Amino acid sequence: MALEHISGRNGSLFAGTMPALRRRRRATRPQYEAYLFLLPWFAGLFILTAGPLAASLYLSFTDFDLLGSPTWIGLTNYVDLFTYDPRYLGAFGVTVLYVVLGVPSQLAVALLVAILLNQKVRGLGLFRGIYYLPSLLGGSVAVAVMWRQLFGDAGVVNQFIGVFGIDAPNWISNPRYALYTLILLHAWQFGSAMIIFLAGLKQVPQELYDAAEIDGASRWKQFRHITLPMITPVIFFNLVMGLIHSFQAFTSAYIVSGGTGGPSDSTLFYTLYLYQEGFTNFHMGYASAMAWILLVVIAFFTAINFALSRRWVFYGDQ
């Protein structure tokens, strides 16, 4: 009887623990199904991203003309960029000026329009769509061609100025103004930043504005001491994304300048010169070195923004 009792008790004990052990083994077993579903993403990562990155890094240390085999030359491409190529330094300077002037201009316009669209006015949905339209077309060839027609010698802008008896210059052909037409185009394409700003403005508690009005704060003080601090995370996000996209600008400069970067290389963006070296002059090793320097520059400015963000970006839990 004692043996039967013991065996019966152990049998019931094992019967209760076996399903738990099976569940534990099933939970700790590798989830091959998940990796199977992730396989297309990993294939795209290694074939379309990591593979070309590694190849371009190798080519940056070679002399490669797209037709023959690459020849290893070490750091020669990187040395030539900063010592024997004045066009490279000029393109870098043009791009930095474009970023320094274009990004703040675009963010200022986007924030202003977002504040206007945040008001309680009828038909705001239609206005939001209209203001976002340039960004839907942003970077397209059609917009760049339209911009070239607007600011050409006989363009709409000069025709309008001529009504007032003013002899306007050819904005695109004059090296003093050509770059600023592209900066204006960049500022005009503010739709994406505007939408993000508008979402940030919607998150500012109305109670803060009500309390400020009771204290007699003006609209400007409310904007300065409530709105700006509350949307600093959104400003920071738009700043970083705008900086990255501006360094990579290509289409507008290519179309407006006819692919030359003229006049006098005044619109020779970094990416445009990279394209010329790689696909016009067939200096693919040289162009690969340029691409990696651009990657380092973008990473450097992004890191600076993240380091400085601790001083002016405020989050809800702070």
- 65-76 residue pLDDT tens: 988 899 999 999
- 85-95 residue pLDDT tens: 999 999 999 99
pLDDT for 302 equals 95
Please say whether the beta carbons of 277 and 91 come within 8 A.
no
Q: Which CA distances in Å does 135 have to 19, 24, 166, 174?
A: 58, 52, 32, 27
Indicate whether 24 and 84 sit together in one domain: no
pLDDT for 26 equals 56
Burial class (CB in 10 A: 0-12, 13-18, 19+), 283: buried
- 262-273 residue pLDDT tens: 888 999 999 999
Q: How confident is the model at residue 1 (pLDDT cuts 50, 70, 90)?
A: very low
User: How many separate domains does the chain show?
Assistant: 2
Residue 311, pLDDT > 50, answer yes
Tell whether 51 is covered by a domain. Answer: no
Q: Which residue has the tokens 């990993």?
A: 42
Q: How far apart are CA 74 and CA 291, in angstroms?
A: 16
Indicate whether 4 and 152 sit together in one domain: no
Tell whether 158 is covered by a domain. Answer: yes
Indicate whether 90 and 6 sit together in one domain: no
Indicate whether 2 and 105 sit together in one domain: no
pLDDT for 60 equals 96
pLDDT for 72 equals 96
Q: Residue 66 phi/psi, 5° resolution?
A: 75, -15
Indicate whether 136 and 262 sit together in one domain: yes
Q: How confident is the model at residue 142 (pLDDT cuts 50, 70, 90)?
A: confident
Tell whether 210 is covered by a domain. Answer: yes
Higher pLDDT, 135 or 63: 63
pLDDT for 229 equals 92
Can you give the residue range of the structural domain that contains 290? 78-312
Q: Residue 64 phi/psi, 5° resolution?
A: -135, 125
Tell whether 35 is covered by a domain. Answer: no
pLDDT for 139 equals 58
pLDDT for 23 equals 57
pLDDT for 3 equals 45
Indicate whether 146 and 220 sit together in one domain: yes
Tell whether 290 is covered by a domain. Answer: yes
Tell whether 71 is covered by a domain. Answer: no
Indicate whether 91 and 177 sit together in one domain: yes
User: What DSSP line would sit under 139-173, residue for residue?
Assistant: T-HHHHHHHHHHSSTTSHHHHHHHTTT-----TTT
- 16-40 residue pLDDT tens: 555 555 555 555 556 778 888 889 9
pLDDT for 14 equals 47
- Give residues with Cβ within 8 angstroms of 242, minimum separation 6: 103, 106, 107, 193
Q: Which among 157, 185, 192, 166 has a CA at the least distance from the CA of 255?
A: 185
Indicate whether 23 and 138 sit together in one domain: no
Indicate whether 188 and 102 sit together in one domain: yes
How large a percentage of the chain has pLDDT more than 70? 85
Cα 35 to chain centroid distance, Å, stands at 30
Higher pLDDT, 171 or 26: 171
Q: How confident is the model at residue 192 (pLDDT cuts 50, 70, 90)?
A: confident
- Give residues with Cβ within 8 angstroms of 234, minimum separation 6: 196, 197, 199, 200
Q: How far apart are CA 36 and CA 40, in angstroms?
A: 8
Tell whether 68 is covered by a domain. Answer: no
Indicate whether 82 and 25 sit together in one domain: no
Higher pLDDT, 21 or 313: 313
DSSP 190: -
Q: How confident is the model at residue 98 (pLDDT cuts 50, 70, 90)?
A: very high
Q: Which CA distances in Å does 307 have to 152, 241, 300, 313?
A: 42, 16, 11, 11
Indicate whether 158 and 248 sit together in one domain: yes
- 108-132 residue pLDDT tens: 999 998 998 888 767 667 777 777 7
Reported as type and span, the H/E element at residue 71 is: strand 71-72
Burial class (CB in 10 A: 0-12, 13-18, 19+), 315: exposed
Indicate whether 129 and 214 sit together in one domain: yes
pLDDT for 243 equals 96
What is the number of other CB atoms lying within 10 angstroms of the CB of residue 46? 12
